Structure 1
Amino acid sequence: MAYWLMKSEPDEVSIDDLARAPRQTLAWTGVRNYQARNFMRDDFGVGDGVLFYHSSCPQPGVAGLAEVASRALPDETQFEPDSPYFDAAAKRDVPRWVGVDVRLVRKTRLLSLTEMRAAPALATMRVLQRGNRLSITPVSRSEWDAVLSLLAGSATPP
């Protein structure tokens, strides 16, 4: 099992949108960065843990826990001319972009970026590194455990 942090702007897709979705599952579409795409295509496994992170908002942070619910499949938005994620170079027989389904495990309190930065156990977490703009980043088991501990209110994450 692997662990991931997946960023979403809450005005586009929030943890509440995921909670209201049929079967509490949504297609994760619109990723247009090759490294993030490669994570989904090559490294994601069904059942992998996901930190659902609200970004580009007044209070960024982890808003819930989810899991990868499907293998990577072509992202249909790349073929839709009216979509902001349309890619004219993408072809159905050679798609450029993939997506996965993500299923809610549970909504959590917001674990703010400030709280995350203050936690020594998260010092090397990629989302906290300067210049990191990736929408999907790997999370180590120790970082995953530290986030869960912080969400549970433990004073000292492992």
Structure 2
Amino acid sequence: MTEENFWLMKSEPNAYSIETLKNDEVTLWDGIRNYQARNFMRKMNKGDKVFFYHSNCKPPGIVGLMEVIDLNIIDPTQFDKDSKYFDPKSKPENPRWDCVKVKYLSKSDKILSLPELKNLFSEDELLVVKKGNRLSIIPVQNDTAKILLEKI
């Protein structure tokens, strides 16, 4: 049995929000075009819990929880010429990008905002509070996750 890990995944609410996930119940977390974020996603296991983070909004912060339910799915957007995530260098016989499938677990009663997260955690405890961090997927340490779970 694999150990449960925790992650934080960002989405701009006008692109895909916690409300949209709640309505959809399940979604592919596609469109990741950063190698480090993709590599973090490749380390995920089924059953891992993910903090849903709304970014590029006021205020940014954690808005809910989801669970990884499927792994290593080839990201279909990389081959779609009409998609903003189209990658002309990626080929069906050798795709560069993959994604995971997640399901909705819960929505927070209130947003756990970035300023609040900065008060609670150091950069070493939660990478999202690090100035200049732009990664859309980051690992969350288990002890940090326990505190977050109590607050959302």
Q: What residue number does 1:115 align with?
A: 116
Task: In structure 2, list runs of 5 or more residues that go unmatched.
Answer: none
TM-score, scaled relative to structure 2: 0.93
Matched length: 146
| 1:133 aligns to 2:149 (yes or no) | no
Q: What residue number does 1:51 align with?
A: 51
Q: What residue number does 2:32 align with?
A: 31
Q: CA RMSD in A?
A: 0.8
| 1:84 aligns to 2:84 (yes or no) | yes
| 1:13 aligns to 2:16 (yes or no) | yes
Please, which of 2, 5, 16 is the counterpart of residue 2 of structure 1? 5
Per-residue deviation, residues 13-51 of structure 1 (Å, max 9, x unmatched): 000000000xx001101000001111112x110110100
Partner letter of residue 95 of structure 1? P
Question: Runs in 1 of length 4+ with deviation above 2 angstroms?
Answer: none
Distance in 2 between residues matched to 1:125 and 1:147, nearest whole Å: 10
Distance in 2 between residues matched to 1:62 and 1:13, nearest whole Å: 14
Task: Percent identity, please.
Answer: 45
Task: Decide which structure has greater strand share.
Answer: 2
Partner letter of residue 14 of structure 1? S
CA drift at 1:72: 1.7
